[in-house]
């Protein structure tokens, strides 16, 4: 019998969890096209978190039997850069390795969508590396479609 995953709004007490789990999963955000020093990836994640916390945002925390097992950082004030259409933007999602593949990411995305709809937004966007097949499958099953593609050429 599976244990239900609950998602709640995060608060100040969850910041350490966000920093810890995010730092432990940050390397999974790096495309194999780019060479990246681990310390630089950690610095980039820390900068992202500070950027999110300085803007209109929501932290969603997934729990299982009271233990935190994942989070999602959702921005409300970052419009689409091409059309300037208002949107919610999933800035970062992370799930504890032992809890992956059990619906935690899906629960976080559903909660984020509810928050975005409640804010009156008609779109929710995110970015994912091409090689992260499990995340891409999750997002596609949740109804996300590819809108643009970033292409990189090593020089």
Tell me the CATH number at 136.
Answer: 3.40.630.30
Examine the pLDDT at 25 and tell me if it is beyond 90.
Answer: yes
Residue 31: domain span: 5-141
Average pLDDT, the chain: 94
In tens, the pLDDT along 54-79 reads 999 999 999 999 999 999 999 999 99
Does any domain span residue 62? yes
How many domains are there within the chain? 1
Examine the pLDDT at 39 and tell me if it is beyond 70.
Answer: yes
Distance CA 85, CA 62 (A): 29
Does any domain span residue 149? no
Give the end-to-end CA distance of the chain in Å, rounded to a whole number.
Answer: 52
Examine the pLDDT at 135 and tell me if it is beyond 70.
Answer: yes
Q: Average pLDDT for residues 136-149, to the nearest whole number?
A: 94
Share of the chain above pLDDT 70, in %: 98
Q: Which two tokens stand for residue 148?
A: 């643009």
- Pairing relationship of beta strands 57-64 and 5-9 according to DSSP bridges: antiparallel
Does any domain span residue 113? yes
């Amino acid at each position: 019998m599976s244990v239900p995953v609950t998602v709640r709004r995060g608060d100040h007490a969850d910041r350490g969890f966000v920093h810890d789990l995010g730092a432990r999963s940050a390397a999974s955000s790096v495309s194999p096209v780019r060479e990246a020093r681990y310390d630089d990836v950690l610095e980039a994640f820390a900068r992202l978190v500070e950027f999110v916390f300085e803007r209109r945002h929501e932290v969603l925390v997934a729990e299982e039997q009271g233990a935190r097992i994942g989070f999602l950082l959702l921005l409300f004030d970052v419009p689409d850069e091409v059309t300037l259409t208002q949107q919610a933007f999933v800035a970062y999602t992370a799930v504890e390795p032992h809890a992956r593949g059990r619906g935690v990411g899906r629960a976080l995305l559903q909660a984020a969508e509810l928050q975005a709809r409640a804010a009156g937004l008609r779109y929710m966007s995110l970015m994912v590396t091409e090689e992260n097949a499990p995340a891409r499958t999750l997002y596609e099953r949740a109804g996300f479609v590819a809108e643009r593609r970033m292409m990189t050429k090593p020089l």
